[in-house]
Amino acid sequence: MNEYSNCCTANRMFPESDLCSHCKEHADFEEFNNIKDLVSSINKFDNYYEMADDPRVYAIGLASEIAIDKELTQLTKEEVSEVKNSLSTVGKVIWVRYFNKI
């Protein structure tokens, strides 16, 4: 699995660096090493980020949505079911709202 910057879902510039390879600026990275990481990212996803007044909050929410989407499209049907079945109650609401496209 992969990691994505919270600005534009690009990779790290170098391993161990916190620079986004696309923006060349400091960023936080969302890492997905297994199904569990994906489940926890969906569970803590910023529901309603698109209503945020702060453009930075919006950008981070959008980047996170894109990153999760990219990971989901790499999974098999069985793995997607595993993600769905492992979600918290809040995570299931978020799933229906944002990720129930596959």
Binding site for Zn ion (CB under 5 A): 5, 7-8, 10, 20, 22-23
- 58 versus 75: smaller Cβ distance to Zn ion: 58
- 61 versus 91: smaller Cβ distance to Zn ion: 61
Q: What is the nearest approach in angstroms of Zn ion to the Cβ of residue 80?
A: 27
Q: Is residue 5 within 8 Å of 12, Cβ to Cβ?
A: yes
- In angstroms, rounded to a whole number, what is the distance separating the alpha carbons of residues 79 and 26? 32
- 30 versus 87: smaller Cβ distance to Zn ion: 30
